[in-house]
Structure 1
């Protein structure tokens, strides 16, 4: 197991290094000059030259990349062109909104999707299975913008039928006032969670349906379990690696999918910040934010791979380890 984890860590490091190069090159092969783009259309040549010297754009690309990677390893993402603040501080502040939003949204999705998926798989009535299938299709087809507006109308403070949760902003104090911060994330998390729960429901039902005619369920029932107990204990346990893969992909999709939700609820998260920085031509901040999102995606894949091995030790390079 230790050798397996070390190999995966080495692959993660190589992947992060490769993706850092891709992000760096992508922002420098854009049409036009990077300094001119950051300075704006009507900037003077002196302003463009000052920006080029300030951010080291007058250096060879190899030197720029080494300097950028050196800064990344020290936690320095550079300075924002528009605000003058550290990009690391900006990314950290925005991530403190986006990551809890994703975590709460995923918890809502699991709380809704797993029970409904299990109920759909256990149901023997064609009519009930049709109802569950309709719920999954409708839930997965609802646009995030429409769902967010609906929750805002129903539960938004000051505008909703039930004056329950804030509908705009994150609060001036942020996580210094945790109760207010959590309340600000509830409507966006419900929006994300309800939409994602439809996919969790479909995958759970499909995984359990595939195992229902297998010998594993029959063996569990032969040991004294009812069909329901066998499906919920043995079936879910055997389906865990498959569901972990689905949840990993879902989590990665949620990171980019919350962009619409953050803009709708005026949350200062990574999605909103990335849109603003692209509009302001703050390519230094965009470069740091894209790199951080890439690292998050790779770490999610790494954790899913480790979870697979923990849940089923037969997975992995067993043949290689025996050698």
Structure 2
């Protein structure tokens, strides 16, 4: 187990280093002068040179890359040119919206997908199976932003059960609270979860059907175990191995895929922050946000690899 963990950690670190170099290089290759874009066409050469010196753009690219990585290792981040605030502070503030939104959407995704997938597999080739597959196909075909607009029209405009956008905050001092905060994130979470639940339901159904054809399932049934008991005691645990990979990837996607939904619902999250940073050519914010999203994806995959050993005993035997 120790060697397995060490290999995964080394792979994680190597991936992060490669990703950071790629992100920095891509942003360096963007056309145009950053200082010129920030100051506008009427800026004088002297003011442009002064801003370049302030942003460190006059230094060689390799030196700026080392300074960026070294700053994060020391717990220091760059300063946003748009907000005049450290990017770590901006990201921490916006994660208070994006992370709960992603977690809530993931909970809805897993709950709906497992209910639909297991139900369809238990009624294979009968009308419940056809109904679930039709519903999941419809979920795959509906864009999340279009569903978000429909949810706003129905639940915010017509029924007036929810607000059409905005976020009140998590504390009463901000004018909100935990329930108003959850209520403000519920419609965006449903819009995000619809497509992901449709994808995951198909994976759950396929994985459960595949495991139900295994010999140990037939043996359990021959010993007198009921179909339901066999499904919940033996089939689901073995079917979770491929499904867990999809869940990990979906959670990482939900964190990084909130850009459009946060724009539709006017949520002050990571997606809205990076959208505004791109519009303002605030490369420090863009670079740090993209690096954070990549790191989240890599860390989630690392956690999924470790959970394999807990779910699938065959992996323990193989490593032993």
Query: What TM-score do the two structures reach when normalised by structure 1?
Result: 0.91
**For residues 317 and 49 of structure 1, what CA distance do their matches in structure 2 show?**
63
**What is the aligned partner in structure 1 of residue 183 from structure 2?**
183
Indicate yes or no: 2:276 matched with 1:276: yes
- Three-state SS of the structure 2 residue aligned to 1:166 is coil
**What is the aligned partner in structure 2 of residue 293 from structure 1?**
293
CA gap 1:130/1:27 in 2 versus in 1, 3 angstroms: same
Which deviates more, 200-209 or 47-56? 47-56
**For residues 124 and 199 of structure 1, what CA distance do their matches in structure 2 show?**
18
Tell me the CA shift for residue 132 of structure 1: 1.5
**For residues 217 and 34 of structure 2, what CA distance do their matches in structure 1 show?**
61
Q: Is 2:204–2:243's contact at 8 Å kept on the other side of the alignment?
A: yes
**What is the aligned partner in structure 2 of residue 170 from structure 1?**
167
- Three-state SS of the structure 2 residue aligned to 1:266 is coil
Tell me the CA shift for residue 32 of structure 1: 2.9
Q: How does 1:258-269 map to 2 (within 5 A)?
A: 258-269=258-269
**For residues 172 and 41 of structure 1, what CA distance do their matches in structure 2 show?**
39
**For residues 198 and 14 of structure 2, what CA distance do their matches in structure 1 show?**
35
**For residues 264 and 114 of structure 2, what CA distance do their matches in structure 1 show?**
27
Q: Is 2:144–2:194's contact at 8 Å kept on the other side of the alignment?
A: no
Unaligned runs of 5+ in 1: none
Unaligned runs of 5+ in 2: none
- 1:295-317 deviation digits (Å, cap 9, x = unpaired): 11111111111111222254389
Q: How does 1:130-145 map to 2 (within 5 A)?
A: 130-145=130-145
Q: Is 1:38–1:283's contact at 8 Å kept on the other side of the alignment?
A: no
Q: How many aligned residue pairs are there? A: 317
Tell me the CA shift for residue 48 of structure 1: 1.7
Q: Is 1:152–1:167's contact at 8 Å kept on the other side of the alignment?
A: yes
Q: Is 2:249–2:297's contact at 8 Å kept on the other side of the alignment?
A: no
**For residues 245 and 309 of structure 1, what CA distance do their matches in structure 2 show?**
13
Tell me the CA shift for residue 47 of structure 1: 2.3
**For residues 47 and 186 of structure 1, what CA distance do their matches in structure 2 show?**
47
**For residues 262 and 199 of structure 1, what CA distance do their matches in structure 2 show?**
22
Which deviates more, 206-215 or 37-46? 37-46
Tell me the CA shift for residue 174 of structure 1: 6.0
**For residues 237 and 71 of structure 1, what CA distance do their matches in structure 2 show?**
43
Indicate yes or no: 2:132 matched with 1:160: no
CA gap 1:56/1:111 in 2 versus in 1, 3 angstroms: same
